Amino acid sequence: MRYNFEMPPDPISNSEILQTIETEIVVIGAGTAGLVCANAAVENGAKVILISASSHPIARGGSNHAINTKLARSLDINYDIGTNFKREIDRAGGRFDHDKWSLFAKKSGEAMDWLIDKMTAAGYEAVIEMGEVDPDGIVASFPGSHGFLSSKMKTAGAGQPFVVNTLANLAQSTGVQIHYNTVAKQLIREHNKTGRVTAVIATNPEGKYVKYVGSKAIVLATGDFTKDKEMISKYCPDMLPLVSDTPVNYNAQFILGGIYAGDGHKMGLWVGAAWQKTVPNAPLVAGMIGPMSAHRPFKGLLVNKNGERFASEDISRAQLGLIQMRQPDWKIYAIWDSKYAERMAPWYPPGSCYGGPEQSAEDVVAGWERNVQYGKYFKADTIEELAGKLSLDANKVKTTVAQYNRFCKTGTDEDFFKRKDLLTPVDNPPFYGQSKNSPDLLFVTGGLRTNLDMQVLDTKNQVIPGLYAVGTIVGDMFANYYTFMVPGINLGATCVTFGYLAGKKISGS
């Protein structure tokens, strides 16, 4: 079967092109990857034009993982890279590109220090987010997620808009032209698509065709492909039910159900690029439910719509999202009691960074009460009443809670073998609960096959001259699922590190 996205459109003729603009490097995309690449290239002497379908710089989140940065050293934060690497190999079944992970490990510190210098000069504070702690060392997130705070925004992991706006301003101040509302349509590859990629044709804000010629490179930094359901059907079919039907919005900062429709992926495929070797592609999916600390997902009692416990709660957000898809109608429910905050201390608010204050159990419970008022949580004096509010069978839930409490009392989880110190009983009223109808799909990772210089490769693993890719479009960085156990690695590796290295490489530095 040949999908529609695999069929190249008719070439745009020269007679349709309103204007031709020449430069050395054309970067397509004004997200983190494209802006990092453009800045790294221009400060090393290259002439750069950046075109973007959006009307402004685009950012999501704010977690940028890097290893051995000057900030990490100043905070005495370190971890064994080999152990981390081994665990991620195991989670991925050995199916990602080991060379890319090694490149990230060796070069991310340099790239992040470069970014930190720019951000602190612009008045922002660089911080490292709290990691997830696990005495077993399995469901543990490694401490390397860098973020940026302002005087008015103190939540680590949410500061990427500061990054892209700063980088866009810096790029323009150093000679980069940024053309917004300009949508790339086709790449130009010489000699009947066997030679060099020399240009990209895009529509300008008035809908007219403009050809951008790059004498050194065309760089794809165009994001994900999740919104194209045919591409998902071929490359990550399990996630198809979670893809939203909302139209692509190039200005969207953070949405669920997919972001972009693979514009760059398709343009690459049409000129001979190969898809990544690992299929299915890894989804970035999460099960977010119940009260969570900065370093710990909910570890209370989870049940499905039948009122039955279905897994050990000692799992990561990503694992819960995938397990949720195995439950009836995808519905899951979190249940906990008024002592959960005290029993699961210490607490750190989501978005906490190293050196930040703990949150008191009283403040945690106050947060639950606010969520009850907002309708996010339910509260009741009995398990039967709570089950009713959650639309669950009261007798079944009561039986499940009683059995779980027995495990807590004996210290042995006879069903799923959860660690003893996480067996927190549900026995002190009032009781709290939350329902979740489906997991959260952010996007599906990866796409085009690239080498370590971020040059795009063809099906024979040969370089397509003149064509590069950075950011989420980079293939084979992840496999099976995006684990969240190296928090911020998509931004930190494919966007910041690879964008930085590609910009330097292309400019000849």
Q: Does 203 lie in the same domain as 137? A: yes
d(CA 216, CA 507): 8
Give residue-wise pLDDT tens across range 68-117.
Answer: 999 999 999 888 889 888 999 999 999 999 999 999 999 999 999 999 99
Cβ proximity of 23 and 214 under 8 Å: yes
Give the DSSP H/E element, type plus range, for residue 444: strand 440-444
Q: Are strands 48-51 and 17-28 parallel, antiparallel or unpaired?
A: parallel
Q: Does 308 lie in the same domain as 447? A: no
Cβ proximity of 41 and 507 under 8 Å: yes
Peptide bond connecting 430 to the previous residue in cis, omega within 30 degrees of 0 = yes
d(CA 497, CA 509): 15
Instruction: Kindly compute the dihedral angle of the four CA atoms of residues 437, 248, 471, 207, in this order, to the nearest 10 degrees.
Output: 180
Q: Pick the last residue of a domain from 421, 438, 455.
A: 438
- Residue 345, CA distances (Å) to 30, 165, 295, 412 in order: 41, 37, 11, 21
Q: Please report whether residue 273 resides in a domain.
A: yes
Q: Please report whether residue 336 resides in a domain.
A: yes
Phi, psi of 486 (to 5 degrees): -115, 80
Structure tokens of 388? 């009713």
How many CA atoms are closer than 13 Å to the CA of 50, on its beta-carbon side? 35
Q: Please report whether residue 325 resides in a domain.
A: yes
* pTM, two decimal places: 0.96
Q: Please report whether residue 478 resides in a domain.
A: yes
- In this structure, what CATH number is given to the domain that contains residue 311? 3.90.700.10
Q: Does 384 lie in the same domain as 329? A: yes
Q: Please report whether residue 354 resides in a domain.
A: no
Cβ proximity of 230 and 240 under 8 Å: no
d(CA 161, CA 229): 28
Q: Does 267 lie in the same domain as 297? A: no
Q: Does 486 lie in the same domain as 449? A: yes
Total count of domains within the chain: 2
Which are the contacts of 281, defined by CB distance < 8 A and separation ≥ 6?
A: 235, 236, 444, 445, 446, 447, 478
Q: Does 275 lie in the same domain as 301? A: no
Q: Does 321 lie in the same domain as 182? A: no
Q: Does 294 lie in the same domain as 276? A: no
**How does DSSP assign 375-414, residue by residue?**
TSSEEESSHHHHHHHTT--HHHHHHHHHHHHHHHHHT--T
Q: Does 317 lie in the same domain as 225? A: no
Q: Pick the last residue of a domain from 438, 464, 492.
A: 438
- In this structure, what CATH number is given to the domain that contains residue 113? 3.50.50.60
Q: Please report whether residue 79 resides in a domain.
A: yes
Residue range(s) defining the domain that contains residue 456: 1-282+443-509
Q: Please report whether residue 125 resides in a domain.
A: yes
Q: Does 214 lie in the same domain as 189? A: yes
Q: Does 11 lie in the same domain as 108? A: yes
Cβ proximity of 271 and 197 under 8 Å: yes
How many CA atoms are closer than 13 Å to the CA of 483, on its beta-carbon side? 23
Q: Does 452 lie in the same domain as 434? A: no
Q: Pick the last residue of a domain from 411, 438, 465.
A: 438
Q: Please report whether residue 492 resides in a domain.
A: yes
**How does DSSP assign 179-212, residue by residue?**
E-S-EEEEEEEHHHHTS-EEEEEEE-TTS-EEEE
Per-residue pLDDT of the chain (509 residues; tens, 9 = 90+): 789 999 999 999 999 999 999 999 999 999 999 999 999 999 999 999 999 999 999 998 899 999 999 999 999 988 888 988 899 999 999 999 999 999 999 999 999 999 999 999 999 999 999 888 888 888 888 889 999 999 988 888 899 999 999 999 999 999 999 999 999 999 999 999 999 999 999 999 999 999 999 999 999 999 999 999 999 999 999 999 999 999 999 999 888 999 999 999 999 999 999 999 999 999 999 999 999 886 788 999 999 999 999 999 999 999 999 999 999 999 999 999 999 999 999 998 888 888 778 899 999 999 999 999 999 999 999 999 999 999 999 999 999 999 999 999 999 999 999 999 999 999 999 999 999 999 999 999 999 999 999 999 999 999 999 999 999 999 999 999 999 899 999 999 999 999 999 999 999 86
